[in-house]
Amino acid sequence: MKQTPSQTVGPYFAYGLTPEQYLYDFRSLADNKMVSFTDHPEAIQIEGQVFDGQGNVIPDAMLEIWLKDSENGLFGRFGTGTETGNKFVFHTLKPKPFANEAPFLSVILFMRGQLIHSYTRIYFEDEQALNAKDEVLNSIPAERRNTLIAQKTKYGYRFDIHMQGDQETVFFDI
């Protein structure tokens, strides 16, 4: 059997996929609070922007984050159209690393102008030892590796996604 072809999520996904975030009267299945800081004082905040090939911030992308480690399977979803600067923001945990593997979050990215979604990963700046010996990171040309590494900030981590250009984010064929 042949796969059903992908089609773009389009510009109007908000009331179907992220309704509460965009204040539509329909219950959301998932949001950007993958954990709460109240229950998990060790939780982290990750924020960033998605840039197109002209350097403009994309205001109608949707990100999904999947965290899988030995303890948790956590899912989050957020559109870039409601925060200041059209940022995305997630509250999540830093995954527990498996042996010799640097911790990472899986990202699935959708937007108008993408006929098929993109996969990337978020690694962490403050995991230098594990990052240095990680098989996946080492399979990526050195000059592009940093596009996958979230930078530590006062508030948590910053992770920008560039669809094109010198800093084009690494996307994976999974």
Partner 1 sequence: MSDIIYNKFDWEVQPPHLHPDYKSTVFRAPTKPLIALKQSLAELSGPVFGDFNLGPLDHDLSKNSIVNGEPLGERIVVHGKVMNENGQSIPNTLIEIWQANSCGRYVHKVDQHDAPLDPNFLGAGRCMTDSEGNYKFYTIKPGAYPWGNHYNAWRPNHIHFSLFGANITNRLVTQMYFPGDPLLQYDPIFLGVPPKGRELLISKFDLSITEDNFALGYRFDFVLRGNNATPFENI
* Site size toward partner 1, by CB under 8 A: 65
Figure out which of the listed residues 20, 39, 48, 60 binds partner 1, where binding follows CB under 8 A. Answer: 60
Report the C-alpha gap between 149 and 23 in whole angstroms. Answer: 32
Report which DSSP code applies to 86: G
Token pair in block for residue 157: 């981590």
Closest approach of Cβ 156 to partner 1, in Å?
21
Which residue is it, tokens 């979604």?
117
Write down the least CB distance from residue 95 to partner 1, Å.
8
The residue count for the chain: 174
Is 96 an interacting residue with respect to partner 1 (CB under 8 A)? no
138 binds partner 1 (CB under 8 A): no
CA distance 103 to 96: 6
* Shortest spacing between CB 19 and partner 1, in angstroms: 6
Query: What distance lies between CA 66 and its chain's CA centroid?
Result: 8
Amino acid identity of residue 147, one-letter, is T
DSSP state of 57: B
Cα distance from N-terminal residue to C-terminal residue, the chain: 20
- Comparison of 43 and 122: residue with beta carbon closer to partner 1: 122
8 Å CB contact between 46 and 54 = no
Residue 40 touching partner 1 (CB under 8 A): no
Which of 46, 85, 127, 171 is the binder for partner 1 (CB under 8 A)? Answer: 171
Shortest CB 69 distance to partner 1, Å: 8
Binding site for partner 1 (CB under 8 A): 1-17, 19, 22, 24-27, 29-30, 52-54, 56, 58, 60, 64, 66, 68, 73, 75, 98, 101, 104, 106, 108, 110-119, 135-136, 139-140, 144, 163-164, 168-174
